[in-house]
A and B are shown apart, each in its own frame.
Chain A
Amino acid sequence: MDTIPIRSIREIPPEENMLSGTPACAGCGGLLTLRHCLKALGEKIVIVNAASCFTLLSIYPFTPFKNSWLYTAMACAPAGAQGVRDALDILIKKGKLDPEEDLKVVVLTGDGSAYDMGLSSTSGAIYRNLDFYYICYDNEAYGNTGFQQSGATPFASRTATSPPGGARPTGAQLQKKDLFEIWNSHRPPYLATISPAYPVDLVNKFRKAEQYKGPKLFISHSSCPPGWGFDPSHSVSLAKLAVETGIWPLKESVHGKVEHTFVPKKFKPVEDYLKEQERFAHLFKPVRQEDILKSIQETVNEYWRKHKLLS
């Protein structure tokens, strides 16, 4: 693939490697991310999937993909990728597979697997410098099981297991794990955050990643209409608001060196993003939880100040 950056959405490859008619929810931000990722990756890939919403994309005898697929289990998709990659290398070495017929091995998981149960197998795969791609679509909870709190759930989000109540009005009490930094501490050759609302940024990151042998890791903020509570038609605008408010920084890391790929000229207040979603509705009514709103804004400000991108 060409590694020269594209400048406009018109330059995104028109080929669709994932066909329509999947059982995913209307307005699924994760699915939109995946569609763009597959355009960037091309047809010669095998997706190794962990238990997540997207496990239900391939239900016997249907699959929306033009490429191969292997479902593993919740905790071990990167280990599955290790087996597939190693086997392909063996077949090539033994002359049983034409190198032209080689496949990119792509792990696809939700945040439950990536942030929680699959952390050990992911750490192992990065440590072993496995030549693979990892796409995590992060909708900030265990979405497929009905939106329970995960390690990716942001502070104050309502989930099915962190319901705001009289005794605990906050919702989720814990801060979202920083998976980018956890992965980055392994010094993979390439690591980036992406968003379905920024497809040019997304495609360029894949184009850049291709030059590196080893782990190429992507975390996509993935708007989730049923979990977050918003109209499916607002999926892209909400994903965009997450970036414009500074809640979801678009960045990349090459061998551990972090650069932001998009910095809003002027950050919108986080409230603009929060108030659009049912999962944060308890912060605004019946009474405005000023302390919590302030604390969320302060956490975002602190992040950008730390990176010297906000004074």
Chain B
Amino acid sequence: MGKEMLTGNGAAAWGVRMAEVDYIPAYPITPQTEIIETIAKWISDGAMDASFVTMDSEHSMVTAAGAASATGVRTFTATSSQGLLYGFEMIYTVAGWRVPLVMVNVSRGLSSPITLGPDHNDILAIRDSGFLQIHCETCQEVFDSILMAYKLAEDERVLLPVIVNMDGFYLSFTREPVEIPDVETVRSFLPEYQPEHAFFKPAQPMAQGVAVLGGEFYSYFKYQMHLASKNALEVYKEVCGDFEQKFGRKYRTIEEYMLEDAEYVLVMTNSFSTLGKAAVKRARENGLKAGLLRLRVLRPFPDPDIKNALKGKRAVAVIDQNISIGKGGIIYSEMAGCLYNEINRPLLLSFIGGLGGKNISPEEFELIFDKMIKAEDTGIVEAPHLLYTENEWKEMAGLKEIAGKG
């Protein structure tokens, strides 16, 4: 079909359409709504043969999605931020049902204070649920990741739901050229869903989602989920290879940008990685051997790929677009856990930035590189650094004055 100029949300909708999804229970929330509106229109126009239902909440929406998936149809749903948290209970529940549904989360900061701009406290809140997580930087990647997500989720070595993440506004509402393949090629990559494990048939009654009493039995099922998620790392490689062969685009679990000979490395996720890549380029122009590692698959956590990519680096700065209040960056902790036992491990610095969509300026990236060099000189790594520019401070002071707290 060629290239179309699509927003991130539009690309997600096209991914769902090309995956020939059967069922979409939905509930609106900014900045996700464009996805379900687009799908609803296609269904209404007859361009897409699927069933669409607007539910009464995200809690109900995730339940309906999981239940339909457990009955044996290919299912999609989407949410964001508060909606993801409202459905949180069912995120864990449907992951435990081992159903291969695919969701999109359009990241948005969490209340309170209530806000609209993106950060990743929403998607990382469900980090431990059993959902696999794919985080995207571009609109093309959103489209491609939805196709890959179904292939991954439906593989019987995995059978876990997948959530594809993009940043609200920065990606959800940004238009980029997106290559949309023809449906036959998509079908050759992602055949029709044939459920082997999840269905309801009178001739073969089945109890799903049943209670388990006794820690030893409960643990068994939880361990199974963990091992399935670990399997997904291997399955992902196959999916990735197959995808590259069919569509010519390659998405590893991590993206290595100017990383091979780099000494100072930024670790980022999602659309703000584009800012990081620009900063790496500028640093290179100034003679610094900079690079960037973008985490794409966050669950399962690609430990082997990360260890391998960061071997021998001097310093690594994790820029967390999230904040674990009272601790710091969530991904920093994950990276530290990943690298701690490595003999040749780099210094690991922590920065918090981009909360609620706050910009990360070129000066802040310079500061990050300076701090990496300084840490290497002194061997001292400071506590998580909360990025905030002087201008931002002044603007905030202005607001406080208006609020009478100046």
Give chain A's interface residues, CB within 8 Å of chain B. 43-44, 46, 48, 55-56, 58-60, 63, 65-73, 75-76, 78-84, 86-91, 94, 96-97, 101, 103, 120-121, 123-124, 127-128
Within 8 A of A (CB), among B40-85: 51, 53, 55-57, 59-61, 63-73, 75
Given contacts A84-B68, A84-B71, A128-B53, contact A68 B207 (CB under 8 A): yes
B208: CB under 8 A from chain A?
Answer: yes
Chain B contact residues, majority secondary structure: mixed
> Does the CB pair B73–A82 fall under 8 Å?
no
> Does the CB pair A63–B210 fall under 8 Å?
yes
> Does the CB pair A88–B200 fall under 8 Å?
yes
Within 8 A of A (CB), among B262-285: none
Best-surrounded residue of A66, A78, A91 (most CB of chain B within 10 A): A91
Which residues of B have CB within 8 Å of A88?
71, 200
Which residues of B have CB within 8 Å of A63?
207, 210
CA distance A52 to B268 in the complex (A): 44
> Does the CB pair A87–B23 fall under 8 Å?
yes
Which one of B164-172, B178-186, B211-219, B391-399 is at the A interface? B211-219
B206: CB under 8 A from chain A?
Answer: yes
CA distance A44 to B63 in the complex (A): 22
How close is A141's CB to chain B, nearest CB, in angstroms? 21
B383: CB under 8 A from chain A?
Answer: no
Which residues of A have CB within 8 Å of B202?
43-44, 67-68, 101, 103
CA distance A287 to B51 in the complex (A): 62
> Does the CB pair A70–B73 fall under 8 Å?
no
Which residues of B have CB within 8 Å of A87?
22-23, 67-69, 71-73, 75
Given contacts A43-B202, A70-B70, A90-B22, contact A58 B207 (CB under 8 A): yes
Which residues of B have CB within 8 Å of A66?
205
Extra A-B contacts (17), CB below 8 Å, given A59-B213, A68-B201, A79-B61 = A46-B200, A67-B202, A68-B206, A69-B210, A72-B63, A72-B93, A79-B25, A79-B63, A81-B67, A82-B53, A83-B75, A84-B71, A87-B73, A88-B71, A90-B22, A90-B68, A90-B73
> Does the CB pair A72–B67 fall under 8 Å?
yes
Given contacts A59-B211, A91-B73, contact A83 B25 (CB under 8 A): yes
> Does the CB pair A80–B63 fall under 8 Å?
yes
Give chain B's interface residues, CB within 8 Å of chain A. 22-23, 25, 51, 53, 55-57, 59-61, 63-73, 75, 89-90, 93, 200-203, 205-213, 217
Given contacts A66-B205, A91-B73, contact A82 B93 (CB under 8 A): no
CA distance A42 to B75 in the complex (A): 29
> Does the CB pair B51–A86 fall under 8 Å?
yes
Which residues of A have CB within 8 Å of B207?
58, 63, 65, 68-70
CA distance A55 to B207 in the complex (A): 11
Which residues of A have CB within 8 Å of B60?
76, 78-79, 82, 120-121, 124
Identify 26 residue pairs between A and B in the complex whose beta-carbon atoms are under 8 Å apart, listed by A's number: A46-B200, A58-B210, A60-B210, A68-B200, A68-B207, A70-B207, A71-B210, A72-B67, A72-B93, A75-B89, A79-B61, A79-B63, A80-B63, A81-B67, A83-B66, A84-B67, A84-B71, A86-B25, A87-B67, A87-B73, A88-B71, A88-B200, A94-B22, A96-B72, A101-B201, A121-B57
> Does the CB pair B55–A79 fall under 8 Å?
yes
How close is B21's CB to chain A, nearest CB, in angstroms? 10
A-B CB proximity, top 4 nearest: A83-B67, A124-B56, A79-B60, A87-B71
CA distance A120 to B208 in the complex (A): 24
A-B contact count (CB 8 A): 150
Given contacts A65-B205, A86-B51, contact A56 B211 (CB under 8 A): yes
CA distance A69 to B210 in the complex (A): 8
Which residues of A have CB within 8 Å of B210?
58-60, 63, 69, 71
Query: CB-nearest residue of chain A relative to B212?
Result: A60
CA distance A84 to B63 in the complex (A): 10
How close is B200's CB to chain A, nearest CB, in angstroms? 5
> Does the CB pair A90–B55 fall under 8 Å?
no
Which residues of B have CB within 8 Å of A43?
202, 205
Best-surrounded residue of A60, A65, A75, A94 (most CB of chain B within 10 A): A60
CA distance A89 to B93 in the complex (A): 24
Which residues of A have CB within 8 Å of B56?
79, 120-121, 123-124, 127
> Does the CB pair B51–A90 fall under 8 Å?
yes
How close is B347's CB to chain A, nearest CB, in angstroms? 44
How close is B72's CB to chain A, nearest CB, in angstroms? 6
> Does the CB pair B59–A90 fall under 8 Å?
no
> Does the CB pair A75–B23 fall under 8 Å?
no
Query: CB-nearest residue of chain A relative to B206?
Result: A68
Best-surrounded residue of B70, B89, B200, B209 (most CB of chain A within 10 A): B200
Q: Choose one: A72, A80, A90, A101; the contact of B203 (CB below 8 Å).
A: A101
Query: CB-nearest residue of chain B relative to A102?
Result: B202
Which residues of A have CB within 8 Å of B53?
82, 86, 128
> Does the CB pair A82–B70 fall under 8 Å?
no
> Does the CB pair B211–A86 fall under 8 Å?
no
How close is B133's CB to chain A, nearest CB, in angstroms? 22
How close is B250's CB to chain A, nearest CB, in angstroms? 34
Best-surrounded residue of A59, A73, A83 (most CB of chain B within 10 A): A83
Which residues of B have CB within 8 Å of A84?
67-68, 70-71, 200
CA distance A69 to B200 in the complex (A): 9
CA distance A60 to B224 in the complex (A): 15
Query: CB-nearest residue of chain B relative to A51?
Result: B211
Query: CB-nearest residue of chain B relative to A66?
Result: B205
How close is A294's CB to chain B, nearest CB, in angstroms? 41
How close is A305's CB to chain B, nearest CB, in angstroms? 36
> Does the CB pair A120–B205 fall under 8 Å?
no
Which residues of B have CB within 8 Å of A121?
56-57, 59-60, 63
Query: CB-nearest residue of chain A relative to B205?
Result: A68
How close is B322's CB to chain A, nearest CB, in angstroms? 27
Which residues of A have CB within 8 Å of B23?
83, 86-87, 90
Which residues of B have CB within 8 Å of A82?
25, 53, 55, 60, 64, 67
Q: Choose one: B65, B93, B206, B212; the contact of A73 (CB below 8 Å).
A: B93
CA distance A68 to B202 in the complex (A): 7
How close is A128's CB to chain B, nearest CB, in angstroms? 7
CA distance A81 to B23 in the complex (A): 14
How close is A239's CB to chain B, nearest CB, in angstroms? 27
Which residues of B have CB within 8 Å of A79?
25, 55-56, 59-61, 63-64, 67
